[in-house]
Amino acid sequence: MFDLSPDLIALLIPILVVIGVFGTAVASIIIKGKEHELEHKERIIAMEKGIPIPEPPKKEHKPRYYAARAWGFVMTFLGIALFIAISVQVGVKYGVWGLLPLAIGVGLLLSAGYEKKEMERKERDV
């Protein structure tokens, strides 16, 4: 039916990735717009009926170090996995490239630990 040659697949992959990235961004913008529109309609209806305007739900504020810690774990284990996989397949000479994401991950984990300690110190001082 279709001739899916390696050249055609190699051509389609970047095209589909770009479409997917832009599609996700557009979908996110549309969804946020719909949420904002629904909140606005809810407020208008509340004002028309004379009932108190509902307060927007409070978003739980997570400290910044949560994201750094999560990405630190991801990058650390990605680096370990890459190092092992490439070393087994090709050799340690090329496997050392897996140490780059490993080092980034360790740096993120150290940064998250430092930020957490700083935040706890500021909370104690206040």
Largest CA distance in the chain: 73
Picking from 44-48, 54-58, 90-94, 111-115, which range would have the lowest pLDDT averaged per residue? 54-58
pTM over the 0.75 mark: no
Hey, how many other C-beta atoms are within 10 angstroms of the C-beta on 66? 12
**pLDDT at res. 101:** 95
| Average pLDDT value for residue range 43-60 | 83
Helices (H), the chain: 6-49, 65-89, 92-95, 99-125
| Average pLDDT value for residue range 57-71 | 82
Structure tokens at 100: 């780059």
**pLDDT at res. 19:** 96
Q: Where are the domains of the chain?
A: 1-59, 65-120
Q: pLDDT of 66-112, one tens digit each?
A: 889 999 999 999 999 999 999 999 988 999 999 999 999 999 999 99
pLDDT greater than 80 at residue 3 = no
**pLDDT at res. 1:** 59
Hey, how many other C-beta atoms are within 10 angstroms of the C-beta on 107? 14
Radius of gyration in angstroms for the set of CA atoms belonging to the chain, rounded to a whole number: 24
